[in-house]
Amino acid sequence: MSYLYVNEDGVVVSIEGNRCIAKYKDGMIKYMPIEALEGIVIMGRSQLTTYCMEQCLERGINVSFFSKGGRYFGRLHSTGHVKTDRQRRQCELYDSQFAIDLSKRIISAKLKNQEVVLRRYERSKNINLKDIHNMMSICRNKIETCNSIYEIMGYEGQGAKYYFDGLSKCVKEDFVFQGRSRRPPLDEFNSMIGLGYSVLMNEIYGKIEAKGLNPYFGFMHRDAEKHPTLASDLMEEWRAVIVDATVMSIINGNEITKEEFTHNVDEPGCYLNRKGVGILIKKLEKKFQTDVKYLSYIDYTVDFRHAMLLQVNQLVKAMESEDASLYYPIQIR
């Protein structure tokens, strides 16, 4: 299964027979078997035919819309997978010990994964970030004693600050950044991870919907209008593993230059241009299709995209039993 990314204006996506067809303004045509298509991502001003949208809704193919700068607009939504009993259980568990225990497990794994990613690039740069690792370990250990979501997210935020301070010391000199910046991203690194996180959220959003859950009923992230908080919850363990590692690889591997960035696309800030978006999307797609053996409850390899779906399955089981210990976040080595 794969995604069709449309990163140009004026493209028309249609369905003919058993093929999804993307027709570009310059006459180029791309084909993809409809059976192999899991999702379509429109980045910019392109369109889908009515019949294409009908087929996507009927077949459960995810369709998402982003601006040219990577700002997420929304997605086609089908009610075919809604399971009201599961969504009622979601609501019941919002302010509960289950939510606190689940948050501890996810954020602890997130900080551990950040440390592993940081060590990889620390070694490649031949530098020592012992003090940063010590502080991140302290934050991770403190989480075990937390009694509220507020406390957990406080240590998560502290750990993230140390982590990004460390990454800024490992990145190629031209792309050094000063901490995390959002809406708008103020530099090239933040522009890339911001778009990467949007793509990752879109992936997880689809997996959540496929299991009949409500992406807007989270456990860790508090209710926020127009924000899929459950998708944000389940993203946390994947951020460093998929997006941060991919962005660092692109930059330090000299696969992108500052010429692939621009300013003032949708709003003040630094954004990837069309070529830059293509570079990042291609690399992320390759990452999503990479086989790994990081899930502790299976003894075979799966690609990252399938692993995300298995994690949503685990969440459903944990919810049904009201036992957060049944959820095993991914931890890399």
Q: Residues near 162 by Cβ (< 8 Å), separated by ≥ 6?
A: 132, 135, 136, 139
Chain mean pLDDT for the chain: 87
Does 74 fall in a domain?
Answer: no
Q: What is the pLDDT of residue 110?
A: 95
Give the CATH number for residue 259: 1.20.120.920
Q: Could you give the angle at the alpha carbon of 34 between the alpha carbons of 30 and 37, nearest 5°?
A: 85
Task: Please indicate, yes or no, whether residues 119 and 44 belong to a single structural domain of this protein.
Answer: no
Task: Please indicate, yes or no, whether residues 58 and 201 belong to a single structural domain of this protein.
Answer: no
Does 78 fall in a domain?
Answer: no
Residue 50: which domain range?
A: 2-66
Does 71 fall in a domain?
Answer: no
Task: Please indicate, yes or no, whether residues 99 and 44 belong to a single structural domain of this protein.
Answer: no
Do 210 and 309 form a contact (C-beta atoms < 8 A)? Answer: yes
Q: Which of 44-48, 123-127, 177-181, 324-328 has the largest mean confidence?
A: 324-328
Task: Please indicate, yes or no, whether residues 45 and 174 belong to a single structural domain of this protein.
Answer: no
**Strand runs (DSSP E) across the chain, as ranges?**
2-6, 12-16, 19-23, 29-33, 37-43, 47-48, 62-66, 72-75, 261-263, 270-272, 291-292, 302-303
Does 333 fall in a domain?
Answer: no
Task: Please indicate, yes or no, whether residues 56 and 103 belong to a single structural domain of this protein.
Answer: no
The total number of structural domains that make up the chain: 2
pTM score: 0.85
Does 331 fall in a domain?
Answer: no
37 three-class SS: strand
Q: What is the pLDDT of residue 48?
A: 87
d(CA 312, CA 107): 16
Task: Please indicate, yes or no, whether residues 178 and 111 belong to a single structural domain of this protein.
Answer: yes
d(CA 122, CA 202): 30
- Bridge partners (DSSP) of residue 19 are 16, 33
Do 61 and 39 form a contact (C-beta atoms < 8 A)? Answer: yes
d(CA 139, CA 144): 9
Does 175 fall in a domain?
Answer: yes
Task: Please indicate, yes or no, whether residues 145 and 52 belong to a single structural domain of this protein.
Answer: no
Share of the chain above pLDDT 90, in %: 38
Q: Residues near 8 by Cβ (< 8 Å), separated by ≥ 6?
A: 24, 25, 44, 46, 274
Task: Please indicate, yes or no, whether residues 211 and 239 belong to a single structural domain of this protein.
Answer: yes
Q: What is the pLDDT of residue 37?
A: 82
Q: What is the pLDDT of residue 1?
A: 61
Task: Please indicate, yes or no, whether residues 54 and 190 belong to a single structural domain of this protein.
Answer: no
Does 301 fall in a domain?
Answer: yes
Does 206 fall in a domain?
Answer: yes
pLDDT at 223 over 70: no
Task: Please indicate, yes or no, whether residues 228 and 181 belong to a single structural domain of this protein.
Answer: yes
pLDDT digits (tens, 9 = 90+) for 71-110: 777 777 776 666 778 888 888 888 899 999 999 999 999 9
Task: Please indicate, yes or no, whether residues 258 and 116 belong to a single structural domain of this protein.
Answer: yes
Task: Please indicate, yes or no, whether residues 62 and 88 belong to a single structural domain of this protein.
Answer: no
Q: What is the pLDDT of residue 211?
A: 85
pLDDT at 240 over 90: yes
Instruction: Output the six-digit token pair for 275.
Output: 């070529």
Share of the chain above pLDDT 70, in %: 95
